[in-house]
Chains A and B, each alone.
Chain A
Amino acid sequence: MNRGLAFFIVIFMFAGGVSCNKKKEDPPRIPAGNVIFAFHHLVDGEPLHKNELIYTNAAANDYLITEVKYFISDITFYKSDGSRKVVQDWKDIFYIDDDIPETKTIRVFDQIPAGEYDSISFVFGISEEKNQSFIYVNPPEVFMAWPTVLGGGYHYMMINGKWKDSTGLTMPFDFHMGIGQLYKGEGYNTDSIYAFVQNWFIVNLPGSGFSLKDQDTLSFQIAMNIESWFETPYIYDHNY
C-alpha cells in the first residue's frame, strides 16, 4: 500500500494570496486557509513530452507516452495533534488528465483549519466503497469506466503509449490499473472470476508537513514520475 511513495513527491509549497469573499456570517468563522494542488508529470525528472519516442525504461524498452489520466481521492491532511481533515466538502474524487490542463490543478473547496500539519495523503484511484459503476456519465471521466464483470467502477489510471518491440516494430501499450480479478483454473474467462482485488492504495506524500495560517493559501506541487510505474517495485518489460 505504499507504492505511491516512489513516484509522488512534494516539490515545494508557498504562501499565496488571501481569499477574501463575503461569507455567510453565521456560524462564527473558524480560522482556516485554502489549499491548491498542482500536478506535474515527469519522466526521468523532466516534464513529459508526449508522442515522442525518446524514453527508455529500466527493461531497456524504448517508449513514448500518448495519454496519462488517473483518479485520486480522499485527500487527507494530518494535524500534529492527531486530528485530520478529509477533503470532501465539495468533491472527494479528482480526475487528472494530462491532456486537460484545468484538471491538473485542484483548488480545494474545503476550508482547511489553520494550524500545524504533519503530512498529506491521498488514495491513488478510488476506494472500494466509492468506486461504483455509473457514478460518472459525462466525459472525460466516463471514458475511465471499468466493466462490471471485471469488478465495475472506474479505472484508477490509464497510461497509454507505444514501445519499440524486440523486432523493432512500434507497438501500442495500454498500461491500465483498476480492480483486479481472481480466476479459477487457467486462462482469463470472465465466467471463472471468483473474487475481485481492490488495487487502490494510499499515497503518503513525503515531506509534506506544513503550517497553515488563517486566510492563507498554500500551493503544493506534486509530481508523478512516470518511469517509476515501470520499475517500482518490479521492472516491467513491455515485450513479455
Chain B
Amino acid sequence: MNQLMTLVIFFVRNRTYPGSERVESPQPEPYLQPAIHGKILYGFESNWNGQREHLELAGGNRNFYFRASGGFKGYGSYTAGNKELFNTSFRKSYVTAATGFQIKEKHRFTLSYAYNQGNDVQFPALPMDEQLDKTQVASVNYEVSGLGKIWNSLQVMGYFSSVHHAMDNYNRPVASIMQAITIVDAWDAGGKVVGSYLAGDCKILTGLDFEHIYKDGQKKMTMKMIMSGDTFTSVKYTNVFNQTELNNAGIFGELQSRFGNVDFTAALRLDYNQANSADTFYLVKDDVAYFDKLNSDFLNLSFSAGVKKRLVSEFYLTAALGLGTRSPSILERFIKLLPVQFDSYDYLGNPQLKPEQNYQVDLSLDYYLPNVGSFTVNGFFSLVHNYILGKIIPPSVLKPSTQGVIGVKQFSNVDLVYLTGFEFSYTSPSQKRWGLMATAAATFGTNPDAVKYLVSEGEVVGEETVYNDPLPEIPPLEGSIQFSYKFFKKRLVPRFMVRLVNAQNRVSEADEEEKTPGFVTAAFSLSYIPCNYFTISAGVDNILDNPYYEHLNRRIIGSEQRLYEPGRIFYINLAIKF
C-alpha cells in the first residue's frame, strides 16, 4: 500500500506521487521458435446481462513478434440485493496492436497502439452519463540489457495518448429543465530514459522523464422556457478547461547497496513542474483571489532512504522514510465546475495551489516459511503539508452549474494532515494443493483544524472549527479471505472468497460525511481445464444476495438515495487457446 522504497514513487492511498505514470498498452514477447497463438474468450454474467468477447492473436519468432487483440464488453441495468433496479449501462469496444523487434542480441524495440471506445455509459452515481469516450494510446519503447560490466541496462520510452470525452444529462429527468453536455479533449505525451549501472557493490539507476498534458473542454447548457405561449431557448457555453497545459520534467536516481546483511536503498528525485491556462475566467471577491493568476511553476524535491535487514531465518524487517512532493494536477488547478470527487459538489480548480509534501515513515515485516507461507505486515505514518482538499466556497462567490449538486468546493491547501495505516497479507505456499490468501488494510486520516459550516433549516448560518476531524472519503477497514483447492493436477480448482468490509464510522464531521454500515460478501468459482486448449470457469458473486454499498460510492449525487452494488450474479467464461 505505501511503499517508499520503489523508484522514487510515493503515494498515499488515492494520491499518486511523481514518477509513477503508467501507460497501458499491450507488450508482445519474442518466441524462441516461430509460432502463432490465439485466444478466444466469451463471458456472460446474469443480473446485468453482462457480455464479454475477446479475440487475441500473438506470434512471431526471436527477432520479430506481435500481439493483436480486440473485444467488447457490455453491461446493462442491475438489481441490487435489496431488489432495487439501478439503470446502468456500459459498452466498451477495444482493439490493440503491438509489434516488437530484436534488432540484435538483447536490444528490443517495441511499438504499440490501443484504441478504446465507450458509448452510452450510464453512471448511476452521477447526474450525467458518458455519451462517447474515445481513448488512444501509442507507445514506443527501446530496451537493452546486459550491456557490460558497468552499464547494465538502458531504456528509452515515449508515449502519446488522447481522450475525447462527452458527458451529458440527456437521459436524466432533469433534462426536461435544462440540458447539459460537456466535451473534453485531452492529450498526454511523455517519455523517459532510464539507465542502470554497477559501481563496485552498488547498483545505480538513473534517468530523466518528461510529461506534457493538455486539456480543453466546454460545457453547453440549454434551457427551454415557455412564456405566454412562446417557447424561448437560452444557451450558455462555458469552459471547463481552457487550453490548459501542464509540463513536468524529472531527474531521478536510485542507489542500491548491501552492507553485511542489510540492503540499503536511497532514492532522489527532482521535478520541475509548470502549468498554465488560457482561461479568461477570473474570480476575485472582497480582496480574496479565488481564480486569478494562471501560471505556476515549482521545483520539487523528493527523496527516500530505506533498509532491509534479515533478522532471523526468512524474517525480514524493512524500514524507510522519505519526502514525496506532489504538484497539483491539471484538474486540481484548472477544472471549472464539474463534480469530479466523491461528494455532491461542483469543483473549482485553484491555479495557485502549492505542492503537497508528504513526509512518510514505513515499517514492514516479511516472514516466509516454505511449508507455511508468506506473511507481510506493513504500517505507515505520514504527515502531509499543504494537503489538497476541497473547501466549500460561498454561493455569493460562485454557484454550481451542475444539476443535482449542492454547492461549489475549491481545491485548497490544508496546512497539515496526518495519515496512518496498515496492510497485512498472507499467501499459502504455491506447491500445496490447498491455497489460502488473506488480506486486510486500513487507512486513517486526520485534519487537525477543519472548518464546519453550521446549517439550520437548510441555511448556512455560521461556521466552527472541528479539531482532529477525520479526513473525508477514506475507505474503511477491509479484509478478504480466499480459499482454493487444486484437483486433478490443477485442472479443476474451486475457490471460495469472502470479503469483509467494516462499517465506516470515522467520518468527517466538517464535511457532514455519512457513516456507512459494514458488509460481508461471498463468492464461489470453479475453473476447469479439460484440455490444454480449453478453459471453462463459472461462479457466483454475492452468493447471499446481500444489499450493500461501498463507502466511496454510497450515494447518488444530488439525492439521498443509496447506491447499492449488484446483487447475486452468476457468470460463465469460456476460453479457447491455441
B404 touches A138 (CB 8 A): yes
Q: Which of A21, A89, A105 contacts B396 (CB 8 A)?
A: A89
B400 touches A138 (CB 8 A): yes
Chain B residues near A134 (CB, 8 Å)? Answer: 178, 221, 223, 234, 236, 401
Question: Assuming the A-B contacts A89-B394, A89-B396, A137-B178, are A109 and B460 also in contact, with contact meaning beta carbons closer than 8 angstroms in the complex?
Answer: yes
Kindly provide the distance from the CB of B172 to the nearest chain A CB, expressed in whole angstroms.
12
Tell me the count of chain B residues lying within 8 A, CB to CB, of chain A: 36
Chain B residues near A152 (CB, 8 Å)? Answer: 234
A148 proximal to B (CB < 8 A): yes
Q: In the complex, what distance in Å separates the CA atom of A131 from the CA atom of B151?
A: 68
Kindly provide the distance from the CB of A144 to the nearest chain B CB, expressed in whole angstroms.
10
Q: In the complex, what distance in Å separates the CA atom of A19 from the CA atom of B286?
A: 26
B454 proximal to A (CB < 8 A): yes
A21 touches B394 (CB 8 A): no
Kindly provide the distance from the CB of B270 to the nearest chain A CB, expressed in whole angstroms.
36
Q: Which of A137, A143, A145, A150 contacts B401 (CB 8 A)?
A: A137
Kindly provide the distance from the CB of B50 to the nearest chain A CB, expressed in whole angstroms.
34
- Which of B157-165, B301-309, B461-469 is the interface stretch? B461-469
Kindly provide the distance from the CB of B245 to the nearest chain A CB, expressed in whole angstroms.
27
A107 touches B456 (CB 8 A): yes
Q: In the complex, what distance in Å separates the CA atom of A142 from the CA atom of B402?
A: 12
Q: In the complex, what distance in Å separates the CA atom of A92 from the CA atom of B395?
A: 8
A6 proximal to B (CB < 8 A): no
A29 proximal to B (CB < 8 A): no
Closest B-chain residue to A25, C-beta based? B465
Closest A-chain residue to B392, C-beta based? A90
Interface residues of A in 110-169 (CB under 8 A from B): 133-139, 142-143, 145-150, 152
B284 proximal to A (CB < 8 A): no
A142 touches B396 (CB 8 A): no
Q: In the complex, what distance in Å separates the CA atom of A109 from the CA atom of B404?
A: 23
A51 proximal to B (CB < 8 A): no
B396 touches A150 (CB 8 A): no
Inter-chain residue pair count (beta carbon < 8 A)? 97
Kindly provide the distance from the CB of A130 to the nearest chain B CB, expressed in whole angstroms.
9
Q: Is the interface of A mostly helix, strand, loop or mixed?
A: loop
A135 touches B399 (CB 8 A): yes
Q: In the complex, what distance in Å separates the CA atom of A176 from the CA atom of B226?
A: 13
Q: In the complex, what distance in Å separates the CA atom of A138 from the CA atom of B464?
A: 28
Kindly provide the distance from the CB of B232 to the nearest chain A CB, expressed in whole angstroms.
3
B512 proximal to A (CB < 8 A): no
Question: Assuming the A-B contacts A90-B396, A136-B399, are A148 and B235 also in contact, with contact meaning beta carbons closer than 8 angstroms in the complex?
Answer: yes
B148 proximal to A (CB < 8 A): no
Chain B residues near A149 (CB, 8 Å)? Answer: 232, 234
Q: In the complex, what distance in Å separates the CA atom of A88 from the CA atom of B236?
A: 26
Kindly provide the distance from the CB of B396 to the nearest chain A CB, expressed in whole angstroms.
4
Kindly provide the distance from the CB of A187 to the nearest chain B CB, expressed in whole angstroms.
13
A90 touches B395 (CB 8 A): yes
Kindly provide the distance from the CB of B453 to the nearest chain A CB, expressed in whole angstroms.
8
Q: In the complex, what distance in Å separates the CA atom of A92 from the CA atom of B399?
A: 11
A147 touches B227 (CB 8 A): yes
Chain A residues near B232 (CB, 8 Å)? Answer: 147-150
Q: Which of B395, B402, B457 contacts A137 (CB 8 A)?
A: B402
Q: In the complex, what distance in Å separates the CA atom of A178 from the CA atom of B390?
A: 36
A91 proximal to B (CB < 8 A): yes
Chain B residues near A150 (CB, 8 Å)? Answer: 227, 232
Q: Which interface class (under 10, 10 to 19, 20 to 34, 35 or more) fits A?
A: 35 or more
Contact string, A83-110, partner B, CB cutoff 8 A, digits 1/0?
0000011111100000000100111110
Chain A residues near B403 (CB, 8 Å)? Answer: 137-138, 142
Closest A-chain residue to B461, C-beta based? A107
Q: In the complex, what distance in Å separates the CA atom of A109 from the CA atom of B400?
A: 19
B278 proximal to A (CB < 8 A): no
Closest A-chain residue to B286, C-beta based? A88
Question: Assuming the A-B contacts A21-B464, A137-B221, are A145 and B396 also in contact, with contact meaning beta carbons closer than 8 angstroms in the complex?
Answer: no
Chain A residues near B465 (CB, 8 Å)? Answer: 22-24
Q: In the complex, what distance in Å separates the CA atom of A139 from the CA atom of B464?
A: 29
Closest A-chain residue to B227, C-beta based? A147
Kindly provide the distance from the CB of B182 to the nearest chain A CB, expressed in whole angstroms.
13
Kindly provide the distance from the CB of A67 to the nearest chain B CB, expressed in whole angstroms.
15
Contact string, B433-454, partner A, CB cutoff 8 A, digits 1/0?
0000000000000000001001
Interface residues of B in 375-421 (CB under 8 A from A): 394-396, 399-405
Q: In the complex, what distance in Å separates the CA atom of A93 from the CA atom of B461?
A: 15
Chain A residues near B105 (CB, 8 Å)? Answer: none
B234 touches A91 (CB 8 A): no
Q: Which of A91, A136, A146 contacts B394 (CB 8 A)?
A: A91
Chain B residues near A143 (CB, 8 Å)? Answer: 177
B287 proximal to A (CB < 8 A): no
Kindly provide the distance from the CB of A235 to the nearest chain B CB, expressed in whole angstroms.
22
Chain A residues near B459 (CB, 8 Å)? Answer: 91, 102, 105-107, 109
Chain A residues near B463 (CB, 8 Å)? Answer: 21, 23-24
B35 proximal to A (CB < 8 A): no
Kindly provide the distance from the CB of B136 to the nearest chain A CB, expressed in whole angstroms.
33
B260 proximal to A (CB < 8 A): no
Q: In the complex, what distance in Å separates the CA atom of A119 from the CA atom of B342?
A: 45
Q: In the complex, what distance in Å separates the CA atom of A170 from the CA atom of B178?
A: 32
Q: Which of B177, B396, B402 contacts A91 (CB 8 A)?
A: B396
Q: Which of B180, B401, B460 contacts A90 (CB 8 A)?
A: B460
A147 touches B225 (CB 8 A): yes
Q: In the complex, what distance in Å separates the CA atom of A92 from the CA atom of B465?
A: 24
Q: Which of B177, B234, B400 contacts A133 (CB 8 A)?
A: B234
Q: Which of B227, B395, B401, B458 contacts A102 (CB 8 A)?
A: B458
Interface residues of B in 156-195 (CB under 8 A from A): 177-178, 180
Q: In the complex, what distance in Å separates the CA atom of A91 from the CA atom of B408?
A: 13
Most buried by B among A108, A145, A146, A150: A145
Q: In the complex, what distance in Å separates the CA atom of A142 from the CA atom of B456?
A: 23
Q: In the complex, what distance in Å separates the CA atom of A22 from the CA atom of B451?
A: 11
Interface residues of B in 225-246 (CB under 8 A from A): 225, 227-228, 232-236
Question: Assuming the A-B contacts A90-B394, A90-B396, A137-B401, are A21 and B221 also in contact, with contact meaning beta carbons closer than 8 angstroms in the complex?
Answer: no
Question: Assuming the A-B contacts A90-B395, A134-B221, A135-B399, are A145 and B461 also in contact, with contact meaning beta carbons closer than 8 angstroms in the complex?
Answer: no
Q: In the complex, what distance in Å separates the CA atom of A134 from the CA atom of B463?
A: 28
Q: Give me 11 A-to-B residue pairs in the complex whose CB atoms sit less than 8 angstroms apart, sorted by A's number.
A: A21-B454, A24-B451, A105-B457, A134-B178, A134-B223, A135-B399, A145-B223, A145-B225, A147-B225, A147-B232, A176-B227
Known: A90-B395, A92-B396. 12 other contacts (CB 8 A): A19-B462, A21-B462, A34-B461, A34-B462, A89-B396, A102-B457, A105-B457, A109-B459, A137-B178, A137-B403, A143-B177, A148-B235
- Which residues of A pack against B, CB within 8 Å? 19, 21-24, 34, 88-93, 102, 105-109, 133-139, 142-143, 145-150, 152, 174, 176
Give 9 nearest A-B pairs by CB, closest first: A147-B232, A148-B234, A92-B396, A107-B461, A21-B464, A90-B394, A134-B236, A88-B396, A107-B459
